[in-house]
Amino acid sequence: MIKKIVGTLGVAVMLMAAGMPAQAQPNYGTRVDTACRTFNGTSPYTTSGCALCHTGSYSSRVEPAWTWYLNNQLTNFCPATVNQAPNGVIDMPAANTSIVAGQAVHFMATGTDPDNNTPLRFTWDFQGGATATTLEDPGDVIFNAAGTYVARLTVTDALGTVDPTPATRTITVTAPTANQAPNGTITSPAGDTRITAGQVVNFTASGTDADANLPLVFRWSFGGAGPNVIGQNPGQLTFPTPGSYVVTLTVSDSLGLADPTPATRTVTVDPAAVVTPVGTINTPTATVTIRAGESVNFTGSGASPNNRTPLRFRWSFGGTVGDILTEDPGAVVFPNSGIFVVTMTVTDSAGVSDPNPPQRTVIVNPGPIATLCTDADKDGFFAEGGRCGPRDCNDRNASINPGAAEICTDGVDNDCDGATDSADSECNGKDCFNKQAQILQLGITAATWSAGSRTLNISGTYGKPGSYVAITNADSGVYQGTALVGADGKWQLTLVRPSIIPCRVTAQVDGLTTQLVVANAAGICNIANPGGVTPVLTIGNANWSRSNRQLTVAGTFTRYGQSVTVTNADSGAYVGTAVVNARGNWTFTAYRPSVIPCRVKAQNGTVSAIRAVANSTGICNAGAATGGGDDDDDSSEEGDSDNDRSNNDRSSSSSRNDDRELARGLEIGSNGGEASQSGDSGSGALDVGMLAILVGGLWMRRRVAGIVRGG
């Protein structure tokens, strides 16, 4: 202690000797420590004592110059301090985590610095799994690719010192599983349903999704019955139009994936029930078979379930006579041979017709043999001769006829050849009966149906030139025609477009008969199918004439002589009936119809055709057929009068055609078709008496037809 005091005094003396002012040490140390604590928190004097300013022997001072104290540069002796690193903490996620690619992880952080060197800087690195950021709290960070990523947080203080142990989190990202499609179910209706036009159907649905990708979207398509709807339960939908509608429900999840098998329901909409009148043909009660020129008695009745009276009646006779507009036509004469379908259509006061009018079939066999050929003794030969066959010279005795053998000693012309006994060439002292057997050789050499020309050709031989061979259908007995035996002993009959093709034919003459099967007729014979081909029905024209207020429908049908029924294709109302002519054509004209159809339907049995009516747009199926420009105040009486005049015109035309057909039928005797004969053309002429009968018959038919039509 004494040495220390002495040493200190020595230093002071030395300083004083050098001209330097002496300093009180305690004051020096206090000031230095105070300045340094303020500057950087250090206390150098307290730490080092006099060594702060002097060497170890205290004989020399430490730079800087001593003047630092006088100039108050006390901080020159404050020792340098070491900056401490900051520390960063990842608050969220609290631990390592796993997600599916496309999902997000929420990141938050905090940082501290022991030296309080702020502000701090934050740097996040996601190792390529997401974009790096300098935000303290990045929030949701999406990892799109599968893999393992280390999220690293680095904190730096204001002096640039970096946290030496950055905080980390490991993020494991797995590949997503494939999105599964949702499934939709139509809960109402529970199945396919059938309704009537104008009724409603209630629609509801449910849906599920295995991935829970909600909400689901419900899309409804109603197949054109109504607008598409987006919504789970559309509720009630009205179906106003008949048809079949497929309703489809498609459900999609929130990612846009749709149900690959949409639920469906089929809604069948039937037309609304239409109350129609009902007609009944009271007589005849079934199919009738007559001869040409004979009549059939027709009576009918009708009923309207909704009492829309009075009822109107229209009888169509297949074209053989004009239509009759009374409830009970009475006796109607059928002048021509053929098969005729008689239809009675009842229409109520609202213009609605019976959609299924009753029908009767009238089979009219050729008339010459039955109506103009007399066989009083029933021996198969006729008193008139000519086209009726060989003349029976004694129609009161069945043993005397052209087919009998001449008895050479009885004084009677037994075989009607104009020669008696020995004067007959069959006698001459020989056995007459043997001679007769030699003569009467009857045969059919060919009977063939040709589908191409639609002709039936029958030919044969007979040993008695000038004789007439009668041909009939071997199964039905219906007369087909008569052939003249030529000088060469051959005969032939050709029928063009016959109403019915026989399966077998019978040739008959002089009490002899023979039969032969018709070639090429198998499967088509003995049926009402002219030509033996598949029937084809067409509508070539359907037109409304505004100026004439006339509806014309025309077409073709491969069944000659058949009836074609024309109806409104939309309402089923009866329009009219047409008959197919020999060329396969048919035409029907309606004058001032109460309703103009938009479309017409032609039908014969199961065969039908439909065509739109030209010039009817905007006015069809809309009540009275005004034609768009005609007066609307025409009385029903005037319309009926026009219809009657039209029917009479058509009936007159039909009558003229019937006259020609009847005369032609008497001339050639064919069954509903044209016939030609080979042989001696001169021998077939009608005698004067026959011609008189023909003319009288035609006049009488016209009178009867006029009476039936009310005229």
405-437 burial: b if 16+ Cβ within 10 Å, else e:
bbbbeeebbbbbbeebbeebebbeeeebeebbe
Q: At 2, is the pLDDT very low, low, confident or very high (cuts 50, 70, 90)? A: very low
Task: Name which residue leads in pLDDT, 318 or 206.
Answer: 206
Instruction: Determine phi and psi for 387, rounding to 5 degrees.
Output: -70, -10
Task: Name the residue with higher pLDDT: 559 or 586.
Answer: 586
3-class SS of residue 213 = coil
Prior bond to 358 cis, omega within 30?
no
pLDDT for 387: 55
Phi, psi of 610 (to 5 degrees): -130, 140
Tell me the per-residue pLDDT of 293-313, one tens digit each, with 9 for 90 and over.
Answer: 888 999 999 999 889 899 999
Which domains does the chain show, CATH number per domain?
2-77 (no CATH), 87-174 (2.60.40.10), 183-270 (2.60.40.10), 369-488+496-528 (no CATH), 534-634 (2.60.40.10)
Categorize the per-residue pLDDT at 353 as very low, low, confident or very high, splitting at 50, 70 and 90: very high
> Which residue, chain included where needed, has tokens 């999609």?
252
> Distance between CA atoms of 623 and 539, rounded to whole angstroms?
24
Q: What is the dihedral of CA 367, 372, 378, 379, to 10 degrees?
A: -100
Q: Mean pLDDT score of the chain, rounded to an integer?
A: 78
Task: Extract the tokens encoding 330.
Answer: 């009475």
Cβ pair 536, 558 in contact under 8 A: yes
Instruction: Kindly report whether the peptide bond that precedes residue 593 is cis, defined as omega within 30 degrees of 0.
Output: no
User: What's at 338, amino acid-wise?
Assistant: G
Which is nearest to 225 in space by CA: 205, 241, 236? 241
Query: What pLDDT is attached to residue 498?
Result: 80
8: phi then psi, degrees, rounded to nearest 5? -70, -45
Which of the listed ranges 264-273, 364-373, 622-631 does the model predict with the highest average pLDDT? 264-273
Mode of pairing for the β-strands spanning 574-579 and 563-568: antiparallel
Are 365 and 371 in contact by the 8 Å Cβ rule? The answer is: no
Classify 619 as helix, strand or coil: coil
Take residue 531 and report the two structure tokens written for it: 């030509």
Instruction: Provide the token pair at 491.
Output: 């005969």
423-438: average pLDDT:
51
Helix, strand and coil in the chain, % to nearest 5 = 20, 35, 45
Instruction: Tell me: pLDDT of 484 over 70.
Output: yes
Q: How far apart are CA 127 and CA 105, in angstroms?
A: 14
Determine if residue 531 is left, alpha or beta; phi over 0 gives left, psi from -120 to 50 gives alpha, anything else beta: left
The pLDDT of 81-87, averaged and rounded, is 85
| Start-to-end C-alpha separation, the chain | 175
262-266, 413-417, 541-545, 655-659: least confidently modelled range: 655-659
Contacts of 1 (CB under 8 A, 6+ apart): none
The three-class DSSP label of residue 412 is: coil
Please count the other Cβ atoms lying within 10 Å of the Cβ belonging to residue 453. Answer: 12
Alpha-carbon distance of 482 to 505, in angstroms, equals 12
Report pLDDT for 656.
Answer: 39
Does the structure show a pLDDT above 80 at 541?
yes
pLDDT confidence of residue 447: 93
pLDDT tens profile 381-412: 778 776 566 788 998 888 888 877 778 777 88
- ∠ CA 350-356-361 to the nearest 5 degrees? 130
| CA separation for the pair 241, 222 (Å, rounded) | 13
Count CA atoms within 13 Å of residue 64 on its CB side: 12
Q: How far apart are CA 511 and CA 380, in angstroms?
A: 7
In the sheet with 193-196, reading across from the earlier edge strand, the strands are 193-196, 263-270, 243-252, 217-221, 229-230
What is the distance between the alpha carbons of residues 277 and 312, in angstroms, rounded to a whole number? 10
- pLDDT value, residue 55: 67
Do the beta carbons of residue 45 and residue 52 sit within 8 Å? yes
Q: What is the mean pLDDT of residues 517-541?
A: 73
Radius of gyration of the chain (CA): 61
In this prediction, residue 560 carries a pLDDT of: 57
* Distance from C-alpha of 87 to C-alpha of 110, rounded to nearest angstrom: 9
Confidence grade of residue 176 (pLDDT, cut at 50, 70, 90): confident
Quickly list DSSP for 96-114.
-EEEETT-EEEEEEEEE-T
Mean pLDDT of 193-206: 94
Cα–Cα dist 69/55, whole Å: 17
Measuring CA to CA, how many Å separate 490 from each of 387, 401, 441, 681? Answer: 17, 22, 11, 14
Question: Over 614-626, what HEC string results?
Answer: ECCCCCCCCCCCC
Q: How far apart are CA 87 and CA 157, in angstroms?
A: 9
pLDDT digits (tens, 9 = 90+) for 20-68: 433 434 477 788 888 888 877 788 878 777 777 776 666 666 655 556 6
- pLDDT score at 200: 95
Q: pLDDT band at 702, cuts 50/70/90?
A: very low
SS3 369: helix
166: preceding bond cis by omega (within 30 degrees): no
The lowest-confidence range among 257-261, 542-546, 702-706 is 702-706
Question: How many residues make up the chain in this entry?
Answer: 711
Q: 440: helix, coil or strand?
A: coil
Is residue 652 predicted with pLDDT exceeding 80?
no
315 in Cβ contact with 324 (< 8 Å)? yes
Written as one letter, the residue type at 242 is: P
Other Cβ atoms closer than 10 A to 143: 22
pLDDT computed for residue 497 by the predictor: 78
Residue type, 709: R
Map 65-81 to HEC letters.
Answer: CCHHHHCCCHHHHCCCC
Q: Higher confidence at residue 474 or residue 231?
A: 231
| Range with lowest mean pLDDT among 35-49, 109-123, 534-548 | 35-49
What are the phi and psi torsion angles at 364 (to 5°)?
-110, 110
pLDDT for res 440: 56
Mean pLDDT over 364-384 rounds to: 69
The model's pLDDT over 596-647, given as tens digits with 9 standing for 90+, comes to 999 999 998 788 999 999 998 889 987 544 444 443 333 333 334 344 433 4
CA 564 – CA 658 distance, rounded (Å)? 19
CA distance 323 to 328: 12
Residue 370 confidence class, pLDDT cut points 50, 70, 90: very low
Beta bridge partners of residue 188, listed in sequence order: 204
Of the given ranges (164-173, 257-266, 553-562), which has the lowest mean pLDDT?
553-562
Per residue in 314-324, pLDDT (tens digit) is 999 988 778 88
Tokens of 382: 């006729």
- What φ, ψ does residue 611 adopt, rounded to 5°? -150, 145
Average pLDDT over residues 222-229: 93
Amino acid at 492: Q
Closest CA to 364 of 294, 283, 316, 282: 294
Residue type, 566: V
pTM exceeds 0.85: no
pLDDT of residue 371: 42
Contact by Cβ (8 Å): 26, 45 = no
By C-alpha distance, which of 282, 269, 267, 290 is closest to 313?
A: 282
Give the least confident one: 388-392, 527-531, 561-565, 683-687.
683-687
For residue 5, which phi and psi values (nearest 5 degrees)?
A: -65, -40
Q: Which residue has the tokens 């299924």?
A: 356
